[in-house]
Amino acid sequence: MDEKHYLSPLFEPRSVAIIGATERENALGAILVSNMLAARFKGRLYAINPKYQAIFGVPCHARIGDIPENIDLAVIATPAHSVPGLIEECGKAGVKFAAILSAGFSESGAEGAEFERKALEHARRYDMRLLGPNSLGVARPLIGMDATFGLGGASPGSIGFVSQSGALCAAVLDYARPNQVGFSNVVSLGVTADLDFGEILDYMVWDFRTEAILVHIEGIRDARRFLSALRAAARVKPVMVLKVGRHPSGSRAAQAHSGALTGDDAVFDAALRRSGVVRLSTLTQLFSNLKGLYLHFRPRGKRLAIITNGGGPGVLAADRAGDLGIDMAHLSPATIERLDGILPQHWSRENPVDLVGDSSPERYAKALESLLGDDNVDGVLCLLSPLAMSHPTEVAQRIAALCTNSTKPVLTCWLGEESCQRAREIFRQARIPSLRTPESAVDVFSHISSYYRNQQLLAQVPGPLEHEKAPMHELVTNLIENALHERRTVLRRQEALALLSAFHIPVTRMRVVHSIAEAEEAASHLGYPVNLRPNAELSGTRLQHLARHDLASGVALTLAFEELRSQLEVRMPESVAAGWCVEPVYHSEYARELMLRVWRDPAFGPVIGFGERSVDPNYWPDRAVALPPLNAFLVRDMLHDTHAERLLGPLESMPAANFAALEHTLLRISDLICEVPALRSLEINPLYLDDEDLLVTDARIEIGRTARTGAHYEHMAIHPYPSNLVQRWHLRDGTPVTIRPIKPEDGEMNQGFVRDLSPETKYFRYMSAVRELSPSMLARLTLIDYFREMAFIATIPDETQENEQENQIGVARFNANPDGKSCEFAIVVADAYQHSGLGRRLMEAIIVTAAERGLTLMKGEFLANNDRMLRFVERIGFKLHSDPDDKTLKFGELDLVASSKAIQASAPPT
């Protein structure tokens, strides 16, 4: 079924009005009208200005309310102080979207912020959405819409481009035209007072004309929605992101420009990788990859082969591949044998393949053909230097002919200018990416191939507490509540270690004492030598000054206790009552000293950092950063390429460290973050790891009160797998049924489920003759965002398999609408299990879950001749009504609050 997206009036308007239109040369309103006319907009165009009857032949009205039809999109090009009133007029006239191109709002100071607040207030009153302010505008070349003040417009194509910078947006469009790169959509977000990345990306995921997405980011306002939309997009389309503000000075400039949160760049990088997208670092990379995406350059791995007619360019390319972690393909013996028959006797028999300077077009073509046929090669980079005997044009013609029948991607780089122009034109016509330098060509291969590797990260959906032991929740809750009741936001040392121990993280043995006698008794029990530290909630630096280590006797312990008590009574008398911690001295000749931190990023919430120990808390050069929740795959990815990871292996005089113990601890820290929303920060420094075990000897934990919304994991940027929603049930014949949230790995099972449905059931569910789900649709249905949607599948044991396989027999899902109050639902049950009560059970699961998420209304759309479904939803409580425009459809609405209460009162899900 071809539904309209709710943002369609913005990107595909039937009518556009330009407010502030004029014929004054170089005025913003004049440029907008001229660009719309030049693009040959296929809809109806109006101008708004009381001084004109027509502008460049376009009908002009004094006010937008004078136009004799409702306007889909109003483009505002007037001073900031006039915008709030114009937005109110647009609202009264029934305008659906307004793009504010004017500057001078929240990015400019308090007065501008007030203009923005009033404009947004008026828009919300009339249920109107705003793009901008300070936006370059929006373009949809496929319908001839260029509502921007860029120079020259955009060509039609398949790339969706979203940018926070109007200037950068204009530069990209100017680059794209002569390079014949086209766009499905171009949108400049500006200040993002209303519409943000999340909703724009949602549209581009929905838009079948958009095949790849390029995003420029300065900062974000809603991290959860941003990540949710980014992950949804990356499931089905290549997504590349140019994130600026990598350093503090750049971050400050970006925040001043867009007003959005920039956050820690390493955290942003981790979030992007976890979302399955590829990050770009420079404008040059953006331009290069723009060309690669448009030409559908799609490597499926990162094993690169290089052909060159000179050693120097080949070495440059190989060096860049090494810098980026691109694997130089190992040529198979069969390929080397074929090349032996083609190349001079003294060739290197290695990759890069140097054809030497006197290579003919035929030799180049045969070598390329051999590499494309090698299963060890994922893509080929063809380099050519314009020597007297190199024949650049003829070689280009042979490459273009070979690529016609090849499924493997080929990149080209003809070094030089004058003698290479015709070759580049041949590549352009053959839709083969052509780059100017070996390094930029390898960059394109690296970035686009990384997209497919990052899909592995995207597919990871860790569940909380999926490990061998659950924590002691009551103990954790009491620790935190007691501290907050006493108005303490930093846990005492014994409390911090107890909290870690509750999550089964190995901590040092210790006793809290309040007198010399208690200290001596504790030391005798634990065994000398011991350490003595205050139990008070002190910072790491202050704690070091008030700690005594390696006390080997009762006398040493007594002297240390008296000295520390005197110091504490003078410096921090309020901390004396907390007592002192006595603990055994840790020693291992094979121990690595590591450090682990958890903190709250202003944009993305809880973050885990891990690396080699740093004595200076403000300097931590070797760290890996990840967003929780984690699983074993994500832990290994997090540690990859850190110096700390190399320390974990066998060293000259040390056996390898116990990686399993480290993995266990990182997973447990992830669990702690998921389950303890009150956690604000955690520092374990040092974290000891040797060949046998891991031990935490010190920890500092900061906590705070959390808003009680009732929503699970609301503090997380990435929602863990909601294992708390799994239900067990039985069919009437006693068959056990599991009703649980769907997982990415359910894709194959879900495909089989749809394939086995009867034609009638498929038609009623999908409203078309679907045979099976496309790969992109399957990804969208199984890799979901648990924050804004939910899909419950019903499974039974597969009795034909010895291992614990499942068969899917039903699925129900809901997706939240942009209004944040309503959702759409869908349900289908396998033919053999209809009328078994399973459909009602699945509906009850999504109704209760949707209500718990704060949604109040569930909507459904049904074929009018689907009598069984109509009777079913009426029994559930839906109110049905006909579609006045389409008699083949009916709509239903359900009060989620009342229905959920009734379900829980009668038979609460288990």
Helix, strand or coil, per DSSP, at residue 805: coil
Which residue, among 204, 203, 269, has the nearest Cα to 241 in the 3D structure? 269
Place of tokens 């369609």: 8
Which residue, among 54, 80, 209, 198, has the nearest Cα to 135 in the 3D structure? 80
Place of tokens 């044998």: 337
Instruction: Give residue-wise pLDDT tens across range 475-522.
Output: 898 999 999 999 999 999 999 999 999 999 999 999 999 999 999 999
pLDDT confidence of residue 906: 83
Which residue, among 409, 461, 408, 459, has the nearest Cα to 434 in the 3D structure? 409
* pLDDT confidence band for 96 (50 / 70 / 90): very high
Query: What average pLDDT score do residues 720-747 get?
Result: 89
The pair of structure tokens assigned to 352 is 């890069």
Q: How far apart are CA 37 and CA 416, in angstroms?
A: 40
Q: Is the pLDDT at 839 greater than 90, yes or no?
A: yes
pLDDT confidence of residue 252: 43
* pLDDT confidence band for 818 (50 / 70 / 90): low
Q: How far apart are CA 37 and CA 58, in angstroms?
A: 9
Q: How far apart are CA 76 and CA 102, in angstroms?
A: 7
Helix, strand or coil, per DSSP, at residue 641: coil
Place of tokens 């704690």: 543
Which residue, among 724, 686, 718, 710, has the nearest Cα to 784 in the 3D structure? 718
The pair of structure tokens assigned to 248 is 């503090």
Instruction: Give residue-wise pLDDT tens across range 242-293.
Output: 987 554 444 444 444 444 444 588 899 888 888 888 888 888 888 878 777 7
Query: What average pLDDT score do residues 522-542 get?
Result: 85
Instruction: Give residue-wise pLDDT tens across range 606-657.
Output: 999 998 887 666 677 778 899 999 988 888 888 876 777 788 889 888 999 9
Q: How far apart are CA 686 and CA 697, in angstroms?
A: 7
* pLDDT confidence band for 529 (50 / 70 / 90): very high
Q: Is the pLDDT at 707 greater than 70, yes or no?
A: no
pLDDT confidence of residue 603: 85
- The percent of residues above 90 in pLDDT, for the chain, comes to 57
State residue 305 phi and psi, 5-degree precision.
-110, 145
CB 419 within 8 A of CB 386: yes
Q: Is the pLDDT at 410 greater than 60, yes or no?
A: yes
Helix, strand or coil, per DSSP, at residue 506: coil
Q: What is the mean pLDDT of the chain?
A: 88
| pTM for this predicted structure | 0.79
pLDDT confidence of residue 255: 46
Side chain identity, residue 5: H
Query: What average pLDDT score do residues 160-170 get?
Result: 90
Q: Is the pLDDT at 585 greater than 80, yes or no?
A: yes
**CA atoms within a 13 Å half-sphere pointing along the CA-CB vector of 746:** 24
Helix%, strand%, coil% for the chain, nearest 5: 40, 25, 35
Query: What average pLDDT score do residues 590-606 get?
Result: 92
Alpha carbon distances (Å) from 175 to 26, 249, 282, 286: 22, 27, 15, 11
Q: Is the pLDDT at 542 greater than 60, yes or no?
A: no
Q: Which residue has the higher pLDDT, 744 or 268?
A: 268
Helix, strand or coil, per DSSP, at residue 460: coil
CB 295 within 8 A of CB 143: no
State the DSSP code for 886: E
CB 816 within 8 A of CB 823: yes
Q: How far apart are CA 778 and CA 721, in angstroms?
A: 18
Q: How far apart are CA 688 and CA 697, in angstroms?
A: 8
pLDDT confidence of residue 760: 85
* pLDDT confidence band for 790 (50 / 70 / 90): very high
Instruction: Give residue-wise pLDDT tens across range 340-384.
Output: 999 988 888 999 999 986 788 999 999 999 999 999 999 999 999
Q: How far apart are CA 632 and CA 636, in angstroms?
A: 6
Task: Show Cβ contacts of residue 177 under 8 Å, excluding neighbours closer than 6 positions.
Answer: 152, 153, 154, 155
Query: What average pLDDT score do residues 592-615 get?
Result: 90
Instruction: Give residue-wise pLDDT tens across range 652-694.
Output: 889 999 999 999 999 999 999 998 999 999 999 899 999 999 9
Query: What average pLDDT score do residues 567-580 get?
Result: 88
**CA atoms within a 13 Å half-sphere pointing along the CA-CB vector of 359:** 30
CB 402 within 8 A of CB 369: yes
Instruction: Give residue-wise pLDDT tens across range 394-405.
Output: 999 999 999 988
Q: Is the pLDDT at 29 greater than 70, yes or no?
A: yes
Q: Which residue has the higher pLDDT, 425 or 768?
A: 425
Query: What average pLDDT score do residues 9-38 get?
Result: 96
Which DSSP helix (H) or strand (E) runs through 516? helix 516-526
The β-bridge partners of 516 are none
Q: Which residue has the higher pLDDT, 575 or 30?
A: 30
pLDDT confidence of residue 253: 43
Q: Is the pLDDT at 555 greater than 60, yes or no?
A: yes
Query: What average pLDDT score do residues 32-47 get?
Result: 97
Q: Is the pLDDT at 711 greater than 70, yes or no?
A: no
Strand 327-328 to strand 278-280: parallel, antiparallel, or no bridges (unpaired)?
unpaired
Q: How far apart are CA 132 and CA 112, in angstroms?
A: 13
Instruction: Give residue-wise pLDDT tens across range 749-787.
Output: 988 898 888 888 887 776 555 667 777 677 778 878 887
Q: How far apart are CA 415 and CA 67, in angstroms?
A: 57
The pair of structure tokens assigned to 819 is 């209004």
Place of tokens 């005594």: 548
Place of tokens 């108005």: 487
State residue 825 phi and psi, 5-degree precision.
-125, 160
Side chain identity, residue 370: S
Q: How far apart are CA 633 and CA 832, in angstroms?
A: 38
pLDDT confidence of residue 1: 37
